[in-house]
Chains A and B, each alone.
Chain A
Amino acid sequence: MLGGLTTFSVRFFKEVFIPPYEIDQIRKHMIELGMKTLPIVGVTGFIIGLVIALQLSPVLKRFGAEAFLPGSVGISIVRELGPVICALIFAGRVSSGIGAELGSMRVTEQIDAMEVSGVNPFRYLVVTRIFATTFILPILTVYVIFISLIGAYIAVVLVQNMTWAYFIDRVVFAVEFGDAIPGVSKTFVFGFIVGLVGCYKGFTAENGTEGVGQASTSSVVVSSLLILIFDMVLVKLSLWIWPVAK
């Protein structure tokens, strides 16, 4: 499967620069996928922010470091939790949808019909979707980070007396360029993985409706796993490029 995914991604990079660029399709997919995922990532982000702040508060208090609560929550959300949680939910929601949609098109011969009508189905169906997932996920991640900080602030208010302005000031003070850029940048890779795996599984589906189901479920499993593996690599890489200030 890894060989197939590699060949599929090489084909993507070959085809992505060849016109026609199907801008309308890319825009349509970005809006559809973004809108579809917005509520669920928002709710999850809010809860994650709130829970992290609630969990950290007594621990920091134990060390007499309550003042660092906004900063620690901000850094953990911006560097890791926001991007990864958002990507995993996006994978569950979008990768399975793409896998099922393209899988269904494959087994009902719609992709063949496109091919015999002289239209390149890879460019029309695959390139547009991978492009859309790659660029919509970072936008969703920024949204999730913001919503998570709201959740965290509400938790802080529950345990400490702190204004929103002070909370944000502490977060901005603590979170550096070297935290935000790698955190958000890696979501371009995660978005690419989600689109690539969903499209690959769907585009190569076979064995009728059973194959469509398999394409859908295995898209989620494979893309989630790849997101975590690549996260490990990208965290190491980002720490090498932007070392944490001492």
Chain B
Amino acid sequence: MVDINGLHKSFGNKVVLDGISLNVEEAENMIVFGRSGTGKSVLLKCVIRLLEPDAGSVKIQSKDVLSLNPKELNSLRKEIGFLFQGAALYDSMSVRENLEFPLMRNFNLDKKEIDERIHFVLEAVSLLEAVDKMPAELSGGMKKRIGLARSIITKPKLMFYDEPTTGLDPITAKEISVLILELQKALKMTSIVVTHDLLCAKIIADRAIVIDEGKIVKEGSISDLVNSNEPLLKNFFSDEIIENNGSMI
């Protein structure tokens, strides 16, 4: 479904992605772990060409993303959903207008079909009552849910989640993670999830990678990563702080 090969991206002298290669199968949930500033979000943005990579190749459904013209790229993006870290709801539009926005511009649907889809996604995220609210009236968790609803309203085949549970309390974070898994199963989507949240990863993941200094340093199941003895992974997943030589602080 997604085939990334030798992806490089730098900002000035700072190398953010240093030859990332990754393959995500259809209907698979891939988790991307890594410390802050290691290029996880940049990876997602390069895959969907919100940022232009310096080198490498990205294929989605066998289409070479980096060689698509703007029209072809737009057409591909219609099949992709993206949940941003801050939900990125259009704050001048109501929840209904936010949800209608991609449908009215990209799909030839009548009013009844649009209303049905809005009802379906709002029911899925348990926020039917928020349909006429403005984003400023919503809590952080509600914004994330509406952001998720907007991402899936086009019934995408591929979903990108950029830190879907960051800034949420543990209960809401767990609810969002379960919701992501349920929606993924219901809509048979392929997902790439960037997160720091181990619980979220445990709920969602089929497979996971860890990025450090622009490279993939570990790939495997969540239990492989959690049980690894490598200092970086131990630091990441355990309560203890381990030095590079393996000794515990």
Contact = CB atoms under 8 A, between A and B. Distances in A.
Interface of A: 20, 101, 104-105, 108-110, 112-120
Nearest to B78: A118
Interface stretch (B55-63, B79-87, B228-236): B79-87
Given A116-B50, A118-B78, A109 B105 contact: no
Given A105-B90, A109-B86, A112-B45, 4 more contacts: A114-B101, A117-B77, A118-B74, A118-B102
A195 B45 CA distance: 29
Contact of A116 (B75, B82, B91, B105): B82
Interface residues of B, number: 24
Contacts of B70: 120
Interface of B: 45, 48, 50, 70, 74-75, 77-78, 80, 82, 84-86, 88-92, 101-102, 105-106, 150, 154
Nearest to A101: B92
A20 B82 CA distance: 24
A212 to B, nearest CB: 13
A114 B150 CA distance: 11
Contacts of A118: 74-75, 77-78, 102, 105-106
Contact of A110 (B77, B85, B89): B89
Contacts of A116: 48, 50, 77, 80, 82
A116 B78 CA distance: 8
B204 to A, nearest CB: 20
Contacts of A110: 88-91
A137 B115 CA distance: 38
B144 to A, nearest CB: 13
The list of the 5 closest CB pairs from A to B, nearest first, reads: A113-B88, A117-B102, A118-B78, A109-B88, A116-B82
Given A20-B105, A110-B91, A115 B77 contact: yes
B147 to A, nearest CB: 8
Given A20-B105, A109-B84, A120-B74, A115 B90 contact: no
